[in-house]
Amino acid sequence: MGTQKWAFALALSLICGVAFAEAEFDFEELMNDVETKIQNVQNNIAAKDAATAATQAKELQEQFKLVEGFFQKRGDAPDAVHNSQEYQGKAQSIQSALAAGDLDAAAVAANDFSKQCRGACHDKYKPL
């Protein structure tokens, strides 16, 4: 029974930690980081540093999960939720191309991510 209590306490603390982290991020700071990170992904692909580019693309995917949660909680922006999901997919496409060793496809996917990102939400939701 004692082990079950510890396991429950640990699980509860992890869940609360994730919820707290999601609620406590600075949206504007996150968006600035996304902008910098996609540029870094593109630069790393051009420099043929697939490992770093893949790590950064994974971070972009995680950041857009936070953005999705942010807009879901907001409740009045289903298009932003949808766009966030699309960008998670775009980040995954970059990672998949890099994993396959296809730097050209990764570059195209990263350029698409960057170009589409500005138009999708920025005009409508920035500044919040």
Q: Which residue has the tokens 């857009």?
A: 64
pTM above 0.85, yes or no: no
Q: Would you state the torsion angle of the CA atoms of residues 88, 110, 95, 86, taken in this order, to the nearest 10 degrees?
A: 20
For residue range 26-66, what is the model confidence (pLDDT) as tens digits?
A: 888 888 898 899 999 999 999 999 999 999 999 999 999 99
Instruction: Output b/e per residue, 41-73; b: 16+ Cβ within 10 A.
Output: bbebbeeebbeebbebbebbbebbbbbbbbbee
- For 32-125, the fitting CATH number among 1.20.1530, 3.30.300, 1.20.120, 1.10.3470 is 1.20.120
The reported pLDDT for the residue numbered 8 is 41
